[in-house]
Every structure is written in structure tokens, then in C-alpha cells.
Amino acid sequence: MPTGVAIRDARNQLFDAAERVLLRDGPSALTSRAVTTEAGCAKGVLHRHFADVDAFLAELVLDRAARIDGQAAALRESAGTGTIADNLTQALMDLFGSVAVAIVSLVTSRDVLRARLRRARPTGVPILTDAATAVGSYLTAERELGRITADADVDTLAPTLIGAVHMLFADRQDTPPEAAAVRKVVTAVVPVVEREPPR
């Protein structure tokens, strides 16, 4: 893009370009040049909006983590409907079927990025922590409805479920795991009160 030509919504355009580079080429390919080339703009555009590449990547991670809020609300609203296994399986497939696994890989691969994120969010890994919070909120609602055991330790179950499902999705280049594999993890981890009807 020629110098002096404004791009609309540069922040989101750069974020979307970074996401494409991340998914296609991996975390090590995320340079300011790669992102701006993918976005079709001059390299200076990124530095006009962000102090440096790691500041940009930190904002990207926080932006993508914030998107989980909508998924969390939908999951919590599903409490008491359908089956717990189906609700959780669908939510986890949606979450990890997106860019989430690549974002987690990005966070774990860059020390400077992790340090910046720790200043913004002192505990946990963004995306995984947000997902565990969403699942924990849902499980709490189901426990209150009596659909999981009253003594279920939601604070342990939620991150256990997120970690186990993340392992299913991590390091896969092409095809994600099938819903049946995710459902198997869900039913192994979550203590439902009564056996749910077979699928």
C-alpha cells in the first residue's frame, strides 16, 4: 500500500493478518514485516499503532482472549438444557477449533510476550485461563441445578478438562480431533449425577 494512504481499522486488519500468518507459518514467523505484508500495508503502520512487535502481539492475544466472553455466556445459558456432555463437547470444539491453540503456542514460545502479558494478567495463560473460567461457570450452574454431583470440585474440574482437551488439539497440523474424542474426555472428567441417554 502506498505511503500516505490510510487503511481503515488498522488495528483489526493487522490482528487478522497476524492470525493468518500464525495459522499458516507458526509463531516464529510473526515479524512486523510478515504481518504488514500479509495486511497489505507499509511496515510503519504497525509501529504507528504499537510500540513494538511484542506490544502488538500482547494486544492480539488479549483481544482474542476477550472473544471467549461471548462463548462463555452461550455455554452458561445452555445449563439445564440438552446433555452436559453435548454442551461441553460443542463448546470445546468451538473454542479449540478456532485460533486458540495457535495463540497458546505463540504465548508459550515468546518470553518477552509472556512477560508483557503477566503485567496485564498476572495469573494463568490467556485463552486457557479464560476457557477454564467459562467451563467453571457452566459447571457451577449445572451443579446448582443438580445435574452434576453436589460435591464436584469445579475449580479443579474446569482446568483439568481444558488441559486434557487442549492436549487433543495441540500439535495437529491438519485435521482436528473428532467430537467423539472430545466427548470421551468430557464424560471421563465430569461427574454427572445420572447417566445421560446414549447418543
Q: Indicate the domain borders of the chain.
A: 10-49, 62-189
Quote the pLDDT of residue 173. 63
CATH 1.10.10.60 assigned to domain 10-49? The reply is: yes
Which stretches of the chain score pLDDT less than 70? 1-8, 171-174, 193-199
Partners of residue 192 on adjacent β-strands:
148
- The pLDDT score that the predictor gives to residue 98 is 72
DSSP 8-state code for residue 198: P
Task: Report phi then psi at 148, rounded to 5.
Answer: -125, 165
- Calpha distance 125→106 (Å, rounded): 11
Contact 35, 18 (CB under 8 A): yes
Question: Other C-beta atoms within 10 Å of 102: how many?
Answer: 20
The pLDDT of residue 135 is: 96
The model scores a pTM over 0.85:
no
